Structure 1
């Protein structure tokens, strides 16, 4: 198998040569209109995720969940299916600083390495948050740091365990984040990293009270260290979200999706905080460049027990351009499965190839021109650098022709992409199957499932026949 790079456009010189050279190949154009399918598709970086678990693991019992501590690995029987929970392509690991740096300057990278390897084996990538602390003494900052700064005091924010304005906090927590980035930025199995800077569970409580110096120093530790892996900020306040976005394209997340009044019957996150904060904190258009990932408030069964409208919650999340959802590895109520399937068909990206045209015949060494019309029926783009490719294949020969498309720019709705890819001059003459796929640049294998029929067992999609002449 060979892979050939794309050559965009058709030069005037080549066009004139083709016009005057004989014999001239018949310029019959093949028009392909693939049939759309309605299946739920598992694709990279979108959909539900597991939490402190992986595909094939048992879910949390009842309405409880675990977080912040090292993963307790379950014995794996080889079955990747998740009972009462959608299959996923993301595993989310949230761990407290104390476990990553139990001794000053000595990091337990093995905790992350093991999670990354397990995620890969289970068909997932790893989303990561290192939270500075949780609540209570058992979920405190590292013991060595507590000894440095002394006992917990009554800070102005209830969910602070230590004073973030103490310069030692920026020094040590920031140093750990920079070391994290040095080791893992761009790791193929790392989905994204949460920009966790302060507050219980790293949710950002009190971010608005930080001085500019402290806020910017903590955010800079992430942005300076992660140039390739996507960063996701908590939706906290105008200054924090605004500063992060002023430096780079970052996504955003919330950790209480679905709250319709569980804390206060006259106030809810869904009606009185999130819609306003998305606008006021300047993240309304952040989804165009980086992912929006949302987390359930409590668990979905709690939503049902409270009588909250799951379809309303789903529709709000789609309006906010959700790509992925953390249900905390808790069961999805069976009665809600149709609604969840509807959600999964809109969450993130969903590419439908509406129309594709190409010449019925071409010559080796020439360019194969094509036009394509794509409909992204999801609510977000694909944020990964996968590439579009055509394949010429028969019993003797396989050639992959890479196009120059940047699928990260394919926003919801219609997208046109026309190109011309070079046919190798040494390809044998004959009839070939023309196929299309979106590939992983690391493996050069199909990575994205399209919402069309004609998918082959190897992940490529058949378009039709083409004749290649010498």
Structure 2
């Protein structure tokens, strides 16, 4: 045997010995339990206000454009700031839509545009009786104003921690992107914005918002390729196929049934079915199956005012409504955790496997952190992780995440190693996992015991 061969054999034996000595990852299952019903950025939400009758993490409001746009290039953000701050103080994220035309409310058109002679249309429909007016969306002065407003809104509010979602409004009755029946309905007039005007608003929103998530009312050829999600304003009423104007059929017709995987879907539980959809049996004169509507839209949140009004729901109806709220959006659970099985010092390799038992991913890039808790229950060390929980899909194998922790700041002893996903909104609930080891108050999920020597 030559010296070179002996050397190679020795190296191979040494490598085998090291490999055999290296402990294999030890995975410990973590038990599942439903996540709290007020997890952030999902579930039922009311119009902005203080409510104690139903768990929630978001609040909704409409904002007339005239309140914040005071001139061609001047803005007063005070009305929006006031709404956002009030909601944030309650520990909730805001979702909102800005409008020009809301039937039965005073016009949302900025006064300077009216003073310049912007043409408008009065109408009696939708209980309006001429109070609001529909603007001429083809007027270049309005188009320029909308472009400036969207750009200014993005500069100031993109990535604002107080905001959960912004719906792309501005066009149509209620900002819902239709002027029915004045858009090819029962009236000969067509007041709806042209495709070019719609595209200009959509494209400016997409270019102005890179972090805050956007939604628009209708799936269409104009928005199918944009980073904008959808908002079904008539869920469980005009949602399911095959009717052409129903929401899911529009998703199908525009080839965007999978867009929920990276862009959010929200909406409103149709007001006519809010009081009765959770009766057993359902007592609504007209409705669509709630569970099927949620399953096919993959909605993460819904405006649903009824559970919050007055005494709200009671008894079994309350529990069914909570279950309906819980069924929306994500539900992340740590299926397994891997910690060192023997005492360590210097560094520790930690890993988790996270599955999504919900119907949609979590859409924001919140940073998980690991923490060591001593015997007194005090957090003695924290480690930000490079992990991302964004986009973990509900129909996929668990996502495995690994980190190496520097333990030099820890003394000898046993520590509970915990995982937390902090909410960047200071008073907001942290994202809580669907696990029995999850502390719903502190936000800490216990992964296991870490022994430092």
Q: How does 1:235-250 map to 2 (within 5 A)?
A: 235=218, 238-242=220-224, 245-246=225-226, 249-250=227-228
Q: Is the 8 A contact 1:160 1:200 kept in 2?
A: no
1:154-233 to structure 2, matched below 5 A, reads 161-205=134-178, 210-233=193-216
Correspondence for 1:255: 233
Please give the TM-score of this superposition, normalised by the length of structure 2: 0.79
Taking the aligned partners of 1:223 and 1:93, their CA distance within structure 2 comes to: 21
Aligned partners of 2:87 and 2:59: how far apart in 1? 6
Aligned pair 1:301/2:284, yes or no?
A: no
1:150: Cα distance to partner? Answer: 4.6
* SS state at 1:139 partner: coil
Seen in structure 2, the aligned counterparts of structure 1 residues 445 and 91 have a Cα distance that, compared at 3 Å, is closer
Q: CA RMSD in A?
A: 3.4
Q: 1:184 to 1:418 in 2, by over 3 A?
A: closer
CA distance in structure 1 between the partners assigned to 2:110 and 2:203 by the alignment: 22
Shift of residue 104, structure 1, vs aligned partner: 4.9
C-alpha distance 344-386 of structure 1, shift in aligned 2 (>3 A): same
Alpha-carbon contact 2:36-2:432 (below 8 Å) kept: no
Quick one: distance in 2 between partners of 1:318 and 1:325?
Answer: 13
Deviation (angstroms), 1:451: 1.4
Residues 1:368 and 2:349 aligned together? yes
Match of 2:82 among 114, 126, 138: 114
By how many angstroms is 1:124 displaced? 0.2
- Distance in 1, matches of 2:105 and 2:44, equals 32
Relative contact order, higher structure (CA 8 A, sep 6+): 1
TM superposition score normalised by structure 1 = 0.77
Report the 3-state secondary structure (helix = DSSP H, G, I; strand = E; otherwise coil) of the residue aligned with 2:223. helix
Matches within 5 A, 1:56-71: 56=51
Looking at structure 1, the residues matched to 322 and 418 of structure 2 have their Cα atoms a distance apart, in angstroms, of: 29
More displaced, 417-426 or 109-118? 417-426
For 2:427 and 2:149, the matched residues in 1 are separated by 34
2:327 corresponds to which of 318, 326, 346? 346
Match of 1:38 among 17, 34, 40: 34
Q: What secondary structure, in the 3-state scheme, does the structure 2 residue paired with 1:419 have? A: strand
User: Gaps spanning 5+ residues in structure 2: where?
Assistant: 1-13, 127-131, 185-191
Q: Equivalents in 1 of 2:231, 2:117: separation in Å?
A: 30
How many angstroms apart in 1 are the aligned matches of 2:326 and 2:379? 36
Query: Which of 314, 331, 339 is the matching residue for 2:291?
Result: 314
Q: Which residue of 1 aligns with 2:370?
A: 390
Pick which of 450-459 and 288-297 moved more: 450-459
Specify the alignment match of 1:74 in structure 2.
Answer: none
- 1:88 and 2:45 equivalent? no
* 1:83-106 deviation per Cα after TM superposition (whole angstroms, max 9, x unaligned): 3xx221111111222222355544
Structure-to-structure mapping, 1:131-142, within 5 angstroms: 131-135=99-103, 138-139=106-107, 141-142=109-110
Deviation at 1:191, TM superposition (A): 1.0
Partner of 2:45 in structure 1?
Answer: 49
Once the two structures are superposed, what CA deviation does each residue of 1:5-59 show, in whole Å capped at 9, x if it has no partner?
A: xxxxxxxxxxx999769xx9994865432222236431110011121x2333xxx
Given that 1:160 and 1:199 are in contact with CA atoms closer than 8 Å, whether structure 2 keeps it comes out as: no
The match for 1:69 is none
User: How much does 1:126 deviate?
Assistant: 0.9
In the TM superposition, what whole-angstrom CA distance separates every residue of 1:374-397 from its partner, at most 9, and x where no partner exists? 331110111121223322232587
Q: Distance in 2 between matches of 1:360 and 1:19?
A: 20
Distance 1:397 1:152 in 2: 61
Match of residue 435, structure 1, among 401, 418, 422: 418
1:461: which partner in 2? 445
Q: Is the 8 A contact 1:241 1:283 kept in 2?
A: no
Contact 2:371 2:381 in 1 (8 A): yes
User: Alignment partner for residue 338 of structure 2, among 340, 350, 357?
Assistant: 357
Partners of 1:444 and 1:44 in 2: how far apart? 11
Correspondence for 1:277: 250
> Which shifted more, 42-51 or 393-402?
393-402
- Whether the 8 Å contact between 1:433 and 1:465 is mirrored in structure 2 is yes
- For 2:313 and 2:373, the matched residues in 1 are separated by 46
